[in-house]
């Protein structure tokens, strides 16, 4: 092997792939996990739509923050329903693709950046489509991330998200990785991974797949509870704030 040819270029691999898809490319994106496991992505981030996506988007009411908007398929669907939506993504390529496809309001950065930019208490719903509950990343990170999302929401705001339960996962390599996670002090469905596209790679990041029960357990101490569920291995949920004393909101405490 010629070492002088170097390693993948670390950068906006996901955004590059979206830009190329917009020009008609079908070159695959690959998810590479730290143990060497690879998975070729099949989801159509431009136009893919199914009953779960429809369920989730139809529960994102009012002004919506589409977190990790990707190519903006949810933002475009919401705009078509005459809802206000801000597409937020860290990827410059994703933000560019959103704009080129007609998403009117975009924000490049993280949810934490949106707080810094003064967007607190301005959204009725946060949408985490495309299994973006993965952005909770780990049990430790989940609490502060839910707090951040909560601060972007109005009082009765909701988080609508999708994920895939890590249990009943397909093959031996997946099972073996999940099995050793608790021995490393991690949740079963935590994965350290990166996206590869042609010669590009994202940085390594943690992504959390979790069951609805695990989500409810993580969300409860942060003041959230699951109020609606689209069931299945690939599922969707609505999270709403616990009622505070005297608040008189829509949801009862557990």
Ligand X SMILES: C[S@@+](CC[C@H](N)C(=O)[O-])C[C@H]1O[C@@H](n2cnc3c(N)ncnc32)[C@H](O)[C@@H]1O
Q: Which of 21, 65, 76, 91 binds ligand X (CB under 6 A)?
A: 91
Q: Which of 16, 79, 103, 132 binds ligand X (CB under 6 A)?
A: 132
- Single out the residue of 170, 163, 203 nearest to residue 187, CA to CA: 163
Is 130 near ligand X (CB under 6 A)?
A: yes
Interacting positions 103-122 with ligand X (CB under 6 A) = 110
Q: Which of 17, 19, 21, 45 binds ligand X (CB under 6 A)?
A: 45
Shorter beta-carbon distance to ligand X: residue 37 or 251: 37
Shorter beta-carbon distance to ligand X: residue 205 or 253: 205
Q: How far is CA 56 from CA 68, 106, 154, 171, in A?
A: 15, 20, 19, 28
Three-state DSSP class for residue 196: strand
- What letters, b where the CB count within 10 A reaches 16 and e where it falls short, cover 3-39? eeeeeeeebbbbbbbbbbbeeeeeeebbbbbeeeeee
Distance CA 200, CA 94 (A): 15
- Single out the residue of 18, 213, 202, 191 nearest to residue 101, CA to CA: 18
Interacting positions 150-209 with ligand X (CB under 6 A) = none
Shorter beta-carbon distance to ligand X: residue 95 or 225: 95
Interacting positions 215-234 with ligand X (CB under 6 A) = none
Q: Which of 64, 79, 89, 211 binds ligand X (CB under 6 A)?
A: 89
Distance CA 65, CA 90 (A): 14
Q: Which of 19, 29, 68, 215 binds ligand X (CB under 6 A)?
A: 68
Task: Give the number of residues in contact with ligand X, rule: CB under 6 A.
Answer: 18
Distance CA 56, CA 107 (A): 21
Residue 21 CB, nearest approach to ligand X (Å): 11
- Single out the residue of 232, 207, 218 nearest to residue 55, CA to CA: 232
State the DSSP code for 252. -
- Single out the residue of 254, 248, 246 nearest to residue 226, CA to CA: 254
Residues forming the site for ligand X (CB under 6 A): 14, 45, 67-70, 73-74, 88-91, 94, 110, 129-130, 132, 135
């Amino acid at each position: 092997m010629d070492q002088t040819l170097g390693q993948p270029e670390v950068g906006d691999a996901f955004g590059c792939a979206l830009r190329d898809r917009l020009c008609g490319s079908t070159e695959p994106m690959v998810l590479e996990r730290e143990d060497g496991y690879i998975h070729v992505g099949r989801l159509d981030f431009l136009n893919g739509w199914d009953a779960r996506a429809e369920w989730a988007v139809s529960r994102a009411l009012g002004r919506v923050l589409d977190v990790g908007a990707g190519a903006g398929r949810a933002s475009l669907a919401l705009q078509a329903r005459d809802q206000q939506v801000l597409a937020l993504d860290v990827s410059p390529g994703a933000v560019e693709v959103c704009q080129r496809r007609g998403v009117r309001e975009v924000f490049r950065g993280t949810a934490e950046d949106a707080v810094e930019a003064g967007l607190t208490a301005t959204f009725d719903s946060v949408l985490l489509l495309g299994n973006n509950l993965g952005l909770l990343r780990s049990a430790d990170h989940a609490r502060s991330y839910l707090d951040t999302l909560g601060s972007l929401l109005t009082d009765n705001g909701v988080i609508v998200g999708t994920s895939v339960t890590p249990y009943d996962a397909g093959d031996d390599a997946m099972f073996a990785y999940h099995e050793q996670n608790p021995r490393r002090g991690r949740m079963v469905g935590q994965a350290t991974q990166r996206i590869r596209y042609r010669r590009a790679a994202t940085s390594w990041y943690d992504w959390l797949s979790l069951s609805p029960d695990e989500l409810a357990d993580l969300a409860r101490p942060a003041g959230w509870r699951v109020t609606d569920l689209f069931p299945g291995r690939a599922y969707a949920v609505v999270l709403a704030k616990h009622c505070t004393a005297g608040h008189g909101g829509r949801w009862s405490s557990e």
